[in-house]
Chain A
Amino acid sequence: MSITRRTFAKGALGTLAATALAGGVAASDVFAPKAAFADDAASRGEWKPSWCTNCHLPMCATQVLVKDGIVREIKGDPDGCNAGRLCPRGLSNIGTLYSPYRVQSPVKRTNPEKGLDVDPQWVEITWDEALDIVAQQLLDACAYNPSSIAACEGFGSEENFMNSPFFIALGTENVLPTTGSLCPEHFNQLHDNGQILDRVDLEHCEYVLEVGRTMSNNFAATADEQCAIYADAYRRGTKFVVVNPMSPHSAQRGEWVPILSGTDTAFALALIHEMIHELGQYDAWWLRMRTNAPYLVADEAVFFKPDRETHRGTYCKNAAGKTLCWDEKAGCAVPFDAPNYDDFALLGTYEVDGVTYKTCFQALADYTADKTPEWQEPLTTVPADKVREIARDLVEHAHFGATIDVNGYTFPKRGSVVYCGRGMACHMLGTEAGKAFGIINAMLGAVDVPGGMQGNNNASWVEFRTDSDGMIEPWLNMPEQVTGGEGLVYPPTVIDLHQWYPTFHNNPYAMWEVMCDMKKFGFDYEMKVLYAQGSDPLSSMVTSDYAVEALKKLFVFEINNQYDQLSQFADVILPDNSAIEKDAMWRLCETQKCCDDRTRGLMGQMVRRPAIEPIYNTRNAEDIKIQILARMDKLSGAQAPDMSKVVDFGAEVIGPMMGGAFGYLPIYNFIYNGDFQDACFPDYPSDALPPELELDPFTEYTYREIVDRKLEALKGCKGFEGFELSYFDKCAFWRYELPLEQGYNYWWAPENQVRMPVYFERQGRIGQELQNSCEALGVTVPGQDMEHLYSHYGALPMWYEEGAAWKPTEEFPLKLINWKIHYGVNYNGQLGENAVLQEVVDTFNPQVKRLWINPVTAEQYGLAEGDVVSIESEFGRFGAQEGKVHLTNLISPQHVGIPGNLGRKSLYMRPQEDWGINFNRMISPEMHTVNPCNTGLEASPRVKISKVK
């Protein structure tokens, strides 16, 4: 074979041209330029580097062809992490750039009345007027109370790194990222390997049990070559067994196991039962060495509600406070970090100092003794025999005891893994399911090793840390879901109420009800201003009538390049450049979803220079923020913040802590100065700003100038040898890679240096501390039944039928589900109104704009393809909405489905005949309906449908 698509993609064009001219190799014969087109080729234009921001992995490097100042073409950059590929979202950057429905100039509303269907009657104004209005409103709010400013950022712009210093400079505590309330899928990953997301190692894995995930449907992503890696695995024979109420691509190419949504916990418990009690097969070596399975624990069942068995337990500790395991050879309890972990008892009950303890694994075994496949069948609809078959396949493909040599390092190698997603997590019992599937991966020994589940970050960047019990303790991103953070903070100071929930993930949806009656929730001030960038806090979360009421009272301004639902309530919009017009900088420090040897150790730096001048009267969002702060005299300020206050890096944490005492530029210096780098990223190449590059707090820099100082500081750093700024004039992605073995995080903390839970002792402890705090203060969590709340903080995966299943009722007989589609992820790029993309959808795949229903169910309702139905949720505060049905055998009969995130519309968006159906209107923002551990929304409400025509 003389050339492959991949070898071609990775070979730079320059190389090919050179070999062609030199008379070169076989490849050059294939691709040698043809003389007939030589002149045309020269006139086609100039390729300029850029990158795409239209998904969570905003790192697909692109090249755009510019001719006469007009972008004519776009393609993936062969030297990017996408290796020349580009998905529908990335290609759609051109459509966004030239859309006449962009915000083309600063605008202010002239109609004081606000509403979802009320025309703001925009008028264009100058930048000076717009910035003056916004700065004055912010100054007034700061004078009243800085926290009267609600600051929202979100997935609509993945380049809002600069929001952190912006929020800090404003001084508000109400930093409210509208990001993860519909994808709280981080719980099990954070517990298992301290990282926020999974990536399945498709290089070595041969059996993937995929739960609540849509590989390929959103894997059309080209970042990190994900989709190609998935397709390679499929062609290589990797088996995908997909547990899901709907059938994604991997199920269609593998095997689909339909399940009633929200019941994954019962399914997982039955798998654990099979592995322990029927098969007796699990990775005992791994459990002893790498988990708390051998820890001795005083486990007890607590019944906060009659139908809920919550487990809590305390470890057996010695006088020095060290947690103990039972040494079977020595016949006594020994500290967990004793070197002879192979001698630790995995099962059994032991007496230590007159007290009887179980091993954690025994507690799990006891708990799952009656969780048989037959027990779960009526709950989940998964046949018992299928559970047995899957359990058998998982252990057979695991190859316990197998090893593999990678660059001279011997790793354990596993061949089966459980891979979960938001469809598993977005439920009342989502964290319980997360615990259960995490336990299964622990029993397979399939974490951080070849063939197993990998964290999204390499441990060179996010090092392993442990608590005093040797258990993994995440620290960089979302650590609260494991550590419980500060515990209960009372009275709450942030209006999203997250401080009531020690292990919260993201719950900005709660702010709307609070804003409507601040005093009721314990706040002694009123909100004045709402700012949003990359965030439509209306349609990005659950839409509710509280939001409409709250927004009418506020001064609202957006930095945005397109109108969205929030724009209906905005007073001023400051128009951002489109990605292709925009300077940006992004550190590639993670890969997600899946990996193989091509991408496991991939890291790099991305820098985008504008490929063309802005075509409208727009500015870079980062420059806009600098200009606002300059008008507020907040660029300069006090010295750098107190390092001791830094526990995390990110707007949601760093912002509230700084309290507005610091100017923007000193903060920026702080983020890039050596102290911060050393404190937070000790193993990462230092790229601190040296003294000669530090920002002068009395100078109003452009964002480009700040970026270039950062880049200057990278010169000569590890991974950046030979680096020059001019590199980014040709390619937006500077690549460096870890040695292959270092891409497996086990390498960084082998054997028993870190342990993952099969018994979530800390969750029980956090719940007990929350209960103690609430009772001591005599307070209750707003909107919560406290027994319900406490019951969810347990050490073992809890199951109770009503909470888990939201069983269909006579009034609401169907369950609604939602999944990601590849035409747009979250709100990135606002692709739901992208003209070319939506034309392709409407022409070739209009089904994604319809309500999916199984033909058997459709027959009961007398429905045919394309019929219009009314859909009403038990939760919907906006009542019913209408949509066309799509009859499909790719969804199980108990469910109806709304794909993707379509149906978001407002008056100034591009008008469409078919907007699709909006899922977010069907779910609930009320706290008693959400997962009480991570505050994730219940994404499978019961619904009823009726035929309209």
Chain B
Amino acid sequence: MRYGYVIDTGRCVGCDACTIACKHNNGTPPGVFFAQVIHEEKGEYPNAYMEYTPLLCMHCKNAPCVDNCPTGASLRDENGAVYVDADRCIGCRQCIAGCPYHARWYIASDPKGYYPEKGMTAKESAEFGEFGVGKVVKCTMCRERVAEGEMPSCVQTCPSDARVWGDLDDPDSEVSVLIHTMHAKPLAPEYGTEPSVYYI
């Protein structure tokens, strides 16, 4: 089994719900975005348009971050999700250097929270322990949620159903059908990492 995503940029309305869901539900500190959407204007008046590119870790089949990791902290699980074992991470950041999609984040100092002048909120205090100084963090394809039978947060929340998630190995899954019928392609395939995220 290999989970993956299809992102329909035609359906995406650029609302950033995926980004915000990811932040709240993974409790990431300010400045850390496992999910994000690039908003870019293209074209000339009056045919201009916004191009939205939702991003996340591509959970590559040939993930250079996994290959680059000297301690074996970067791992791929049985469902194809790439994640970091914080206990083994030494913060060398070779994974960051090797990732062509800029999907990893290095925690350089203690997170201060969203209200540094007021101290940590209860939620931040409970969650920021996950973001140890000197560690690399990233999108895990919401492994804990998936284990509970849920979809990744960014997929479930999407107001326009622009993010679809499922088993790439199942030719009948919605993601496989969409890849086939809508000719979905990964971003920057020239890096040869075989991303698990496809774009329409």
Residue B49, interface by CB 8 Å: yes
Residues of B within 8 A of A142 (CB): none
Are B156 and A615 neighbours in the complex by a CB distance under 8 Å? no
Answer whether A91 and B173 are a contact pair too, CB < 8 Å, given A37-B147, A219-B13.
no
Are B157 and A76 neighbours in the complex by a CB distance under 8 Å? yes
Residues of B within 8 A of A520 (CB): none
Residues of B within 8 A of A910 (CB): 115
Are A889 and B41 neighbours in the complex by a CB distance under 8 Å? yes
Residues of A within 8 A of B31 (CB): 839
Are A252 and B174 neighbours in the complex by a CB distance under 8 Å? no
Q: Least Cβ distance of B128 to chain A in Å?
A: 12
* A244→B144 CA distance, assembly (Å): 45
Q: Least Cβ distance of B117 to chain A in Å?
A: 8
Q: In the complex, which of the residues B16, B38, B114, B161 contacts A88, with contact meaning CB atoms closer than 8 Å?
A: B16
* A818→B159 CA distance, assembly (Å): 23
Are B156 and A9 neighbours in the complex by a CB distance under 8 Å? yes
B residues 18-53 touching A (CB-CB < 8 Å): 19-21, 23-25, 27, 30-31, 33, 36-39, 41, 43-50
Are B160 and A231 neighbours in the complex by a CB distance under 8 Å? yes
Select the stretch in A67-75, A188-196, A465-473 that faces chain B.
A67-75
B residues 128-180 touching A (CB-CB < 8 Å): 143-144, 146-151, 153, 155-162, 164-167, 170, 172-174, 177
Q: CB-defined interface of A43-77 with B at 8 Å, one 1/0 digit per residue?
A: 01000000000000000000000011011111110
Residues of A within 8 A of B166 (CB): 3, 30
Residue A172, interface by CB 8 Å: no
Residues of A within 8 A of B158 (CB): 85
* A235→B8 CA distance, assembly (Å): 10
Q: Least Cβ distance of A498 to chain B in Å?
A: 36
Q: Which residue of A lies closest to B121 (CB)?
A: A98
Q: Least Cβ distance of A424 to chain B in Å?
A: 19
Select the stretch in A221-229, A413-421, A567-575, A739-747 that faces chain B.
A221-229
Q: Least Cβ distance of A618 to chain B in Å?
A: 15
Q: In the complex, which of the residues A8, A34, A100, A845 contacts B16, with contact meaning CB atoms closer than 8 Å?
A: A845
Q: CB-defined interface of B83-96 with A at 8 Å, one 1/0 digit per residue?
A: 00000000000000
Are A890 and B149 neighbours in the complex by a CB distance under 8 Å? no
Are B159 and A844 neighbours in the complex by a CB distance under 8 Å? no
Are A38 and B147 neighbours in the complex by a CB distance under 8 Å? yes
Residues of B within 8 A of A38 (CB): 147
Residues of A within 8 A of B49 (CB): 247, 252-253, 890
Q: In the complex, which of the residues B14, B149, B164, B172 contacts A17, with contact meaning CB atoms closer than 8 Å?
A: B149
Answer whether A888 and B41 are a contact pair too, CB < 8 Å, given A9-B156, A44-B144.
yes
Q: In the complex, which of the residues B39, B45, B46, B164 contacts A844, with contact meaning CB atoms closer than 8 Å?
A: B39
Are B11 and A76 neighbours in the complex by a CB distance under 8 Å? no
B residues 96-144 touching A (CB-CB < 8 Å): 114-115, 118-119, 121-124, 126-127, 143-144
Are A6 and B46 neighbours in the complex by a CB distance under 8 Å? no
Q: In the complex, which of the residues A13, A73, A230, A823 contacts B24, with contact meaning CB atoms closer than 8 Å?
A: A73
Are A70 and B161 neighbours in the complex by a CB distance under 8 Å? no
Residues of A within 8 A of B47 (CB): 256
Answer whether A5 and B165 are a contact pair too, CB < 8 Å, given A84-B156, A839-B114.
yes
Residues of B within 8 A of A256 (CB): 46-47
Residue B15, interface by CB 8 Å: yes
* A253→B115 CA distance, assembly (Å): 39
Residues of A within 8 A of B187 (CB): none
Answer whether A227 and B13 are a contact pair too, CB < 8 Å, given A3-B174, A889-B43.
yes
A-B contact count, CB below 8 Å?
226
Are A252 and B159 neighbours in the complex by a CB distance under 8 Å? no
* A227→B12 CA distance, assembly (Å): 10
Q: Least Cβ distance of A552 to chain B in Å?
A: 30
* A234→B165 CA distance, assembly (Å): 21
Are A222 and B159 neighbours in the complex by a CB distance under 8 Å? yes
* A182→B185 CA distance, assembly (Å): 44
Residue B10, interface by CB 8 Å: yes
Are B147 and A34 neighbours in the complex by a CB distance under 8 Å? yes
Residues of B within 8 A of A88 (CB): 15-17, 20
* A604→B20 CA distance, assembly (Å): 28
Answer whether A91 and B20 are a contact pair too, CB < 8 Å, given A76-B156, A253-B10.
yes
Q: Least Cβ distance of A233 to chain B in Å?
A: 10
Residues of B within 8 A of A67 (CB): 126
Residue A314, interface by CB 8 Å: no
Residues of A within 8 A of B10 (CB): 231, 234-235, 253
Are B159 and A221 neighbours in the complex by a CB distance under 8 Å? yes
* A221→B45 CA distance, assembly (Å): 28
Answer whether A234 and B11 are a contact pair too, CB < 8 Å, given A33-B148, A95-B24, A839-B30.
yes
Are B21 and A822 neighbours in the complex by a CB distance under 8 Å? no
Residues of A within 8 A of B161 (CB): 5-6, 85, 228, 231-232
Are B50 and A840 neighbours in the complex by a CB distance under 8 Å? no
Q: In the complex, which of the residues B11, B41, B121 contacts A890, with contact meaning CB atoms closer than 8 Å?
A: B41
Answer whether A836 and B20 are a contact pair too, CB < 8 Å, given A40-B144, A85-B157, A252-B49.
yes
Residues of B within 8 A of A727 (CB): none
* A70→B121 CA distance, assembly (Å): 10
* A33→B150 CA distance, assembly (Å): 9
Q: In the complex, which of the residues A76, A235, A844, A888 contacts B19, with contact meaning CB atoms closer than 8 Å?
A: A844
Are B45 and A889 neighbours in the complex by a CB distance under 8 Å? yes
Q: Least Cβ distance of B145 to chain A in Å?
A: 8
Q: Which residue of B lies closest to A44 (CB)?
A: B144
Q: Least Cβ distance of B174 to chain A in Å?
A: 5
Residue A532, interface by CB 8 Å: no
* A619→B134 CA distance, assembly (Å): 42
* A247→B42 CA distance, assembly (Å): 13
* A3→B172 CA distance, assembly (Å): 8
Residues of B within 8 A of A235 (CB): 8, 10-11
Residue A854, interface by CB 8 Å: yes
* A222→B123 CA distance, assembly (Å): 25
* A111→B200 CA distance, assembly (Å): 59
Q: Which residue of B lies closest to A252 (CB)?
A: B49
Are B149 and A16 neighbours in the complex by a CB distance under 8 Å? yes
Answer whether A230 and B20 are a contact pair too, CB < 8 Å, given A30-B167, A70-B122.
no
Answer whether A100 and B121 are a contact pair too, CB < 8 Å, given A5-B174, A845-B14, A856-B45.
yes
B residues 59-101 touching A (CB-CB < 8 Å): 78-79
Residue A36, interface by CB 8 Å: yes
Are B45 and A75 neighbours in the complex by a CB distance under 8 Å? no
Q: Least Cβ distance of B85 to chain A in Å?
A: 13
* A17→B150 CA distance, assembly (Å): 10
Residues of A within 8 A of B143 (CB): 37
* A308→B153 CA distance, assembly (Å): 57
Answer whether A836 and B23 are a contact pair too, CB < 8 Å, given A1-B173, A40-B147, A845-B16.
yes
Q: In the complex, which of the residues A68, A71, A72, A890 contacts B48, with contact meaning CB atoms closer than 8 Å?
A: A890
Are B15 and A87 neighbours in the complex by a CB distance under 8 Å? yes
Q: Lowest 3 CB-CB distances: which A-B pairs, in order?
A: A37-B147, A889-B48, A220-B15
A-binding residues in B (CB < 8 A): 1, 8, 10-11, 13-17, 19-21, 23-25, 27, 30-31, 33, 36-39, 41, 43-50, 78-79, 114-115, 118-119, 121-124, 126-127, 143-144, 146-151, 153, 155-162, 164-167, 170, 172-174, 177
B-binding residues in A (CB < 8 A): 1-6, 8-9, 13, 16-17, 20, 26, 30-34, 36-38, 40-41, 44, 67-68, 70-76, 84-88, 91-92, 94-95, 98-101, 216-217, 219-222, 226-228, 230-232, 234-235, 247, 249, 252-253, 256, 258, 615, 822-823, 835-837, 839-841, 843-845, 847, 854-856, 888-890, 892-893, 910
